[in-house]
A = this chain, B = another copy of it.
Amino acid sequence: MTVRLGELAVRFGCRLRGDPQAAVDSVATLGSAQPGSVSFLANARYRRFLSTTRATAVILEPRHAADCPTAALLADNPYATYARVAALLHPLPRAAAGVHSSAVIAPDATIAVSASIGPHVVIESGVTVGERVVIGAASVLQQGACVGADSWLAARVTLCRAVIIGQRAVLHPGCVIGADGFGFAREADGWLKVPQLGTVRIGDDVEVGANTTIDRGAIEDTVIEDDVKLDNQIQIGHNVRIGAHTAIAGCVGISGSTTIGQRCMIGGAVGVVGHLTIADDVVVTGLTMVSRSIAKAGVYSGALPADEARVFRRNAARFRHLDEWYRRGTQGGGEPSDSESEEESDD
């Protein structure tokens, strides 16, 4: 699709510096852009590519306009404007409405006429699929699941019984919504399964990454509020609640019955212990273990940075005796204990 810069400026509310008749038909990074493409500057890290870009136009903040050698679309939030331009220039193919002949649909399921049901999809009894929903190939919607209008299940998505998905949701391949939570009672001779009777309720505008799992509640429901964004391979335990607009990076685990506030940002591979409450606007950096509730907005960390193994191992050996060392130090001692010198050599 080809669009003139003038039209982009009008449509997306930018100020244009340059020829409104110049045309673009694709987006590109600053470094690899060619004439005909529009690029953007949103991350200071990439500013060094600006002066030599071959793009026809660059979307950037007004304060960088002076450094831009090409036409400029000036925007307060260049990344958001870029996203809109990219969606306009590169529209995705839309699946045609209708039910593929290989899909297996229960007679009492309710499927909107405008919905698209792909090949080898399974839709069980009592399921509801809203207007313009796309259910990608090989997805399974179990009894009573419900998918709101304009949602997209990419392929191989599993919705277990009674799971509720809001409108405009995006669910990537392999995600599993509503499997049993991990609940067992310990008895003398082993574990007894605790029935998982709640379901999962997902709000509007939620995105769920590939192979992410969200467990159904034990008694009440697991709840994902509106506009929550979940990356790939996240595990969310039963009875968790995640507040609106919170974004969670890949490989995070949230244990059961924990509540995460609104607008939080959780870094990759973070682990959150069960039964905690995390306030609104909390940022947790990657690989951190959150083992207590967080009552105050702010940035929290807990992972040591990588070091040369030789150096790290020595420091870790000292760590194993930190308390001992401290107590000795404040009591006037200070001799290394035998175990410490040993420590260094035995891995």
Q: Would you give the 0/1 interface string for A287-309, flagging 1 where the beta carbon is closer than 8 Å to chain B? A: 11111101000111111111111
Query: Given A83-B192, A287-B289: A321 and B315 within 8 A (CB)?
Result: yes
Q: Is A232 a contact of B235 with CB atoms below 8 Å?
A: yes
Query: Given A289-B287, A308-B300, A319-B319: A156 and B137 within 8 A (CB)?
Result: no
Q: Is there a chain B Cβ closer than 8 Å to A237's Cβ?
A: yes
Q: Is there a chain B Cβ closer than 8 Å to A150's Cβ?
A: no
Q: Is B306 a contact of A288 with CB atoms below 8 Å?
A: yes
Bound form: Cα–Cα A107–B326 in Å: 72
Partner of A271, one of B136, B155, B268: B268
Q: Is B220 a contact of A86 with CB atoms below 8 Å?
A: no
Q: Is there a chain B Cβ closer than 8 Å to A119's Cβ?
A: yes
Bound form: Cα–Cα A77–B188 in Å: 10
Q: Would you give the 0/1 interface string for A39-71, flagging 1 where the beta carbon is closer than 8 Å to chain B? A: 000100100000000000000000000000000
Bound form: Cα–Cα A25–B122 in Å: 32
Binds B, one of A2-10, A13-21, A127-135, A179-187: A179-187
A window 89-141: CB within 8 A of B: 90, 92-93, 100, 102, 104, 118-120, 122, 124, 136-138, 140
Cβ–Cβ < 8 Å partners of A309 in chain B:
283, 285, 298-301
Cβ–Cβ < 8 Å partners of A280 in chain B:
none
Q: Is A289 a contact of B303 with CB atoms below 8 Å?
A: yes
Query: Given A83-B192, A138-B122, A197-B27: A289 and B306 within 8 A (CB)?
Result: yes
Query: Given A194-B82, A197-B86, A288-B306: A233 and B213 within 8 A (CB)?
Result: yes
Partner of A160, one of B28, B77, B154, B299: B154
Partner of A227, one of B190, B300, B322, B330: B190
- Report the copy number of this chain in the oligomer: 3
A window 314-347: CB within 8 A of B: 314-323, 325-326, 329-330, 334-336, 347
Cβ–Cβ < 8 Å partners of A194 in chain B:
79, 82-83, 86
A231 to chain B, nearest CB (A): 4
Which B-chain residue is minimally distant from A217 (CB atoms)?
Answer: B29
Q: Is there a chain B Cβ closer than 8 Å to A251's Cβ?
A: yes
Q: Is B143 a contact of A120 with CB atoms below 8 Å?
A: no
**16 A-B pairs in the complex with CB atoms less than 8 angstroms apart:** A32-B220, A83-B183, A100-B104, A158-B174, A190-B245, A215-B232, A235-B251, A251-B251, A251-B253, A253-B268, A268-B273, A284-B306, A286-B291, A311-B323, A318-B326, A330-B335
